[in-house]
Amino acid sequence: MKKLFFTILAVACLASTATAAKKTTVKQQNPFLAPYTTKYEIPPFEKIKYEHYLPALQAGIDEQNAEVAAIVNNPERPNFENTVLAIDNSGETLNKVAYVFMALVESDNTPQMHELAEVLTPMITAQNDEVNMNEALFARIKAVHDAADELGLDKVQRRLTDKYYDRMVRNGALLSPALKDTLKEINRKQAALSLAFTNNVMHEIANNIIWVERVEDLAGLSQATIDDAAALATQKGRPGQYAFTASGATRLAVLNNADNRALRQQMYETYLNTASRGDEHDNSANINQLIKLRQRKAQILGYETFADYAVAPVMAKTVERAEELLMQLWWPAIKKVDEEVADMQAYADAHGANFKIAPWDYYYYAGKVKAEKFNFSDDDIRPYFELNSVVKNGIFYVANKLYGLTFTEMKDAPKYNPQVTVYDVKDEKGKHVAVFMTDYFPRATKAQGAWMSEMNAEYNYQGKSVRPIIFNVASMTPPTKDTPSLLSIDEVETVFHEFGHALHGMLTTAPFHGLEGTNVDRDLVEMPSQINEHWMLVPEVLKNYARHYRTGEVIPQELVDKLIASSKFNQGFMTTELVGAALLDIEWHKLNWCGDIDVRAFERSVARRLHMPKLVQFRYRSPYFKHIFDNDQYSCGYYTYLWSQVLEADAWERFKAEGPLNRAVADDYRHFILEAGDTDDPMELYIKFRGHEPNADALLRNRGLKE
């Protein structure tokens, strides 16, 4: 997942010597209010204290307001440099604070960060509105937009100008003063509700404990999982017992492996009821208020529904086109589910299970069928997937083969947490390309899921150059006292996926902040991450990183063959989960009335209309569907994972035909996709790489849903 935490108009990182010289000695004691002196301007995390955030953010807001005032009061005729480029480069201090704050509030959300979020998030939202709705600024941007031909703007300058113009229109620049005030209030309320939504989810995941008293009831679980549960129980004041939360790695470990059916059911239902138990942490009211606010926002801006507003500026263009794509995948997927369930029920019956398969049995019996059909299990392959090797001999190996990149650990670099590893990324000529950080292990202060984001914005214009600082965050299986971190195949996939996002951020050569890296249409942003997953099973790559953590033995060819053969296994279930969640997201945002909604009843009605299989739940139930309710980035946009998969599956066909490690193909892919950012229409860029528009056939074949 690509995280975009804030939408300030500009994301500048170029230090102004004149501005820096004016900062007082007192201000210089605040790390945010002085130029970073660290190598590659990595934020000096060890010097940043909680008390620094608020004054620095306020100083940054004041600084950007002064910059905006200078732009709008400039007596010269508006042109690209004095208006569009000037706003694109504004807000250096503001963004320095916001980058670090937004990174840590998700990856290291201590109680102090939680308190700061209550104050800082509304301030960032309000400043975003102040800039986006500034009438005088919009008038100058519109003047440049309307006179683009006369001013001689080149294609990239025109695209940045159009992007700012369209963004300001979509944020209310053409509204009356009264409606602008209404929109600002909506945005303020949305920010507070989204923060409350996310806090509820994190609280529920951390505090809804499943207790087990006897180790005999943990049969089937790995010793590492049992040890972690014992440690958590001790931490919670119950030594000698076992405590489980519904966090990602723990939940899947139980659902996949626990022989104790009652424990599987308890885990399934604990997760399913996250933030929907009717107590103070129930997100139903937050969802209702967010949906109402989004409806009102869309209507103010001239759209019938929020779905229409959300889809209009991206590749799909219309809700109908997005739904059409999803339904192409839906019917083959649910048909496949019936076959998968039949296989699982047959296995359960043959092994003495005197019951009908229930939702909490799905993962467990899918694993049993997979082990029987392909004659291997997760335990057989984990020893070959040691995290350090997956990183250094897997993703870094591919990046070197395809793009000539090298990764050197920066042991003395600043880190926001001791679990972080920092790398200096260089090209074949030894030139610095980016800083890359990894943060792979779970902790109580880290949000669920995996994502990529950045600590600054790349810039490359008229001799001035700033290279990006990119980071990947996840919650992988941690090491134990006896073993290093040994990953499941799904976790390996996550490492490759998030690194695909990282490459998109690291390799960008777009000249302007607003067009750099992953600042592309939501429909395209997941393509580089998802296509990168394919390399994990390329035989040459797999044999390079998949080595037994004790013996160094390369993964046996027999296991490789089984891994590749099983890669399409259970894709009916996986696709149904994903497409179902995307359709649920769209249905929420197609609503155009303002009554209160029973969240669970609404979900049931969507499932009925879709003829959703009874054993499959939406990948995320609404009360913990953070993608669509913790900000607007993926609101009515979860479908873009599938849209991007159509793109990447079709694009991968070229790599398959010409060679997965073919440098010439990689050069084209790097040039037209990874480096380009948002410098051109995404479909045009895709066609330049692939030679034609994509269709869903390749994805259906990849998932085994079509011959």
Catalytic residues: 498
What is the chain's Cα-based Rg?
25
| CA atoms of 612 and 581, how far apart (whole Å) | 11
**DSSP-derived 3-state class of residue 438:** strand
Whether the CA torsion 488, 490, 493, 494 is positive or negative: it is: negative
Using DSSP bridges, classify how beta strands 406-409 and 421-426 pair: parallel, antiparallel or unpaired: antiparallel
Q: For residue 611, which of 570, 573, 580, 642 has the smallest C-alpha distance? A: 580
State the helix-helix crossing angle for 177-207 and 111-132, rounded to 10 degrees: 160
H or E stretch covering 441: none
How many whole angstroms from its chain centre is CA 37? 30
Tokens (6 digits) for 606: 């969507």
DSSP 447: P
| CA atoms of 303 and 295, how far apart (whole Å) | 9
**DSSP-derived 3-state class of residue 464:** strand
Place of tokens 């953590």: 549
Quick check: 402 and 506 in contact, CB under 8 A?
no
Q: For residue 61, which of 97, 112, 88, 36 has the smallest C-alpha distance? A: 97
| CA atoms of 471 and 423, how far apart (whole Å) | 10
State the helix-helix crossing angle for 571-590 and 319-350, rounded to 10 degrees: 140
* Separate counts of helices (H) and strands (E) for the chain: 32, 9
Dihedral, CA of residue 258, residue 263, residue 265 and residue 269, to nearest 10 = -120
Place of tokens 């979860």: 638
Residue 420 CB neighbour total at 10 angstroms: 19
